[in-house]
Amino acid sequence: MRQLLALLAASCVAGSLLDAQVGYCPPRAQQDKEWLAADMTPSPFRGSVYMTWTEFDKYASPLPGDSSRILFSRSTDRGATWSAPVRISDQGGDCLDGDNTVEGAVPAVGHGGEVYVSWSGPLGIMFDRSTDGGATLCPLGRPAERPGGLRRVDCGLHGRGRHLERAGES
């Protein structure tokens, strides 16, 4: 993913936002943890690609004015062009890479072309859904808690295979 962003950034001219790139060039802040999901379902949104990432004002900054947020962009033409990034985290977080940082957004596509995005932040694990190909994302229910903080959350990525349990269940 970082290579994709580097390739897209290489096409940047004089700091302008181009249709063929995702994000700002040069970046107005620090971009981190980019994830992609592609719609391969037979839905009307087939061929769309969705990307989420964390934007830090200044990574590891303890200053209260520096924050983190989750951004989202979509392509409806298999990645040839991208929408302008939009903020989907209603509440920001700090930049200290801990329990009060908003980060770790992962997009997914459902069987009917729904777009789901989850991430972690000060309020817990957040979950948004889109039923219109990513044109709008809406919060889905109340956030889940993170007993033990961010370091205990493992969604089975990279073959670790653990799963999340709902608060109060074992």
List the CATH number of the domain containing 118. 2.120.10.10
Evaluate whether residue 119 is within a structural domain: yes
Evaluate whether residue 125 is within a structural domain: yes
pLDDT recorded at residue 22? 54
pLDDT recorded at residue 67? 96
pLDDT recorded at residue 5? 43
**pLDDT by position in tens, the chain (length 170):** 333 443 343 333 334 434 444 555 556 788 898 999 999 999 999 999 999 999 999 999 999 999 999 999 999 999 889 999 999 999 999 999 888 999 999 999 999 999 999 999 988 889 999 999 999 999 986 677 766 555 544 444 443 333 333 333 33
pLDDT recorded at residue 21? 46
Evaluate whether residue 4 is within a structural domain: no
Evaluate whether residue 5 is within a structural domain: no
Three-state SS at 91:
coil
Evaluate whether residue 12 is within a structural domain: no
Evaluate whether residue 137 is within a structural domain: yes
Contact predicate 164/155, CB 8 Å: yes
Q: Which of 34, 66, 65, 69 is nearest to 55 (CA)?
A: 69
Q: Which domain holds residue 130?
A: 31-159
Evaluate whether residue 149 is within a structural domain: yes
pLDDT recorded at residue 93? 96
Alpha-carbon dihedral sign for residues 2, 46, 69, 84:
positive
Evaluate whether residue 39 is within a structural domain: yes
- What is the C-alpha separation between 118 and 33, in angstroms, rounded? 13
Number of structural domains in the chain: 1
pLDDT recorded at residue 130? 96
